[in-house]
Structure 1
Amino acid sequence: MKNLQAGDLDRVIHLIKPTPKESRFGGPGTEVEYLPENGVKVWANRKDEIAGASEEVEGKRVTAVSLVSFSIRYRSDINPTWRIVEEGGQVYNIVHVAEQGRRQWLVIKAKHHD
């Protein structure tokens, strides 16, 4: 991967962390939800990973899966439980987060089910 420059960050993405859903008894439950107000917007660079494209079976349906890399400025709080939402509304599940450079950039690998 080439050295990233600030000018390479050409799109805005929304990083959303999971929030525990309340159980029917009012306490924290075991399920999570992704609320836009629990996220942050950041500038990113997107790269489609051709080698990561595949198909997965969901129930009785086969769906296409796209693997995408997003590069953002370094943040210490992002992890694979978060999701990414692009400006067009596409939702990605984060698969892997890796630091590039010494706390300079984060490369986030994410999946999108078509």
Structure 2
Amino acid sequence: MAKALQAGDLDCKLSLFTLDTHKNGKGESIGQSESPFVQNLSCRKRERGGVETGGDGSGSPAASRETAYGLVDFDIRYRMDLLPTMILYCEGIQYDILNIHAMAGTRRQWLTIETQKHD
């Protein structure tokens, strides 16, 4: 059985930002900027991989290809105010949030943020 996550295992720091949309006097979008939501949040970083099969849509085996991509999970203390639309930075790298869920069996003690490196 795997060891339960403890506060001493949180050995990285992450920052979360919200994306604000700016509008002109006519209500038209003129740009976006990031606003800090939380900075220097302690976390545990776990990297895992995946493979995606894609192609040109023809369905032929010759046209399909496999692409490797890196998924990264961040484990943090439980919070209720996080959204998947936020932007996550860790060690200077931007990540897209795919999913946020409570860690199984922890009763609101830990959250897992599933991410993918931003292209």
Supply the distance in 1 between the matched residues of 2:43 and 2:10 (Cα, whole angstroms): 4
Label 1:33 to 1:56 Cα distance change in 2 as closer, same or farther (>3 A): farther
TM-score by length of 1: 0.75
**Alignment gaps of 5+ in structure 1:** 58-62
Label 1:27 to 1:5 Cα distance change in 2 as closer, same or farther (>3 A): same
Structure 2 matches for 1:14-93, cutoff 5 A? 14-19=15-20, 21-25=21-25, 27=27, 29=29, 32-35=32-35, 37-50=36-49, 52=50, 65-87=69-91, 89-93=92-96
Determine which structure has more spread, i.e. the larger CA radius of gyration. Answer: 2
Aligned residues, how many?
105
Deviation at 1:26, TM superposition (A): 6.9
**Alignment gaps of 5+ in structure 2:** 56-66
Q: CA RMSD of the aligned region, Å?
A: 2.9
TM-score by length of 2: 0.72
Identity %: 34
